[in-house]
Amino acid sequence: MKEGNVAEDTLAADTVIADVVRTLKNPEDYVCRVLIRMKQCENAHGASLVRIGVTGRGVTPNFAVEYPNDMGGAEVFEAYYGVNGDPMEDLGTLLDELMGKAAPDHVMVFRNWSTRTMTYGQVQAVLGEIRKRIR
């Protein structure tokens, strides 16, 4: 959690799924939802990354699945509600926001999302660790 004058119910700006495993409401279900959505992106674009929302306490963070673009950045495949994995509406690309090209209702507000991502393989490893602890 952030300290100082920042709201107590926000995560550090660089938080990833591996950092919130212990605070997740149901870690195995959450990580499986993320992996299913990441796999859909991998099937469509050959690779996927996941970035979590940092405006909560890490109980069921929203997540955005991205894929690498030709310019060395990433495009948002889709963003999802953490509690159920359903897609969010009206989201643009992170690149568009950074360049100021997208309409306001089509922009993911960058400050609400982690500055770091995880790959499909890294998230799979997190699931493996969760399942080891359950046994």
pLDDT tens digits, 9-64: 789 999 999 999 999 999 999 999 999 999 999 999 999 999 999 999 999 999 99
Q: What stretch of H or E contains 65? A: strand 63-68
Q: In this structure, how many other beta carbons lie within 10 angstroms of the beta carbon of residue 111? A: 10
| Alpha-carbon torsion angle 62, 44, 18, 27, nearest 10 | 60
* All residues at 6 or more sequence positions from 118 whose CB lies less than 8 Å from its CB, including other chains: 16, 17, 18, 49, 50, 126
Range of the domain at 58: 17-124
Give the number of domains in the chain. Answer: 1
Across the chain, mean pLDDT equals 85
Task: Using the predicted structure, report yes or no on whether residue 117 has a pLDDT greater than 60.
Answer: yes
Give domain status of residue 132, yes or no. no
| 134 domain residue, yes or no | no
Q: Tell which wins on pLDDT, 116 or 72.
A: 116
The pLDDT, as a whole number, for residue 38 is 98
* Any domain includes 11: no
Asked whether residue 7 is domain-assigned, the answer is: no
In a domain, 57, yes or no: yes
Report if residue 133 sits inside a domain. no
> Has residue 39 been placed in a domain?
yes
Note whether residue 52 is domain-resident: yes
How far is the C-alpha of 135 from the C-alpha of 128, rounded, in Å?
11
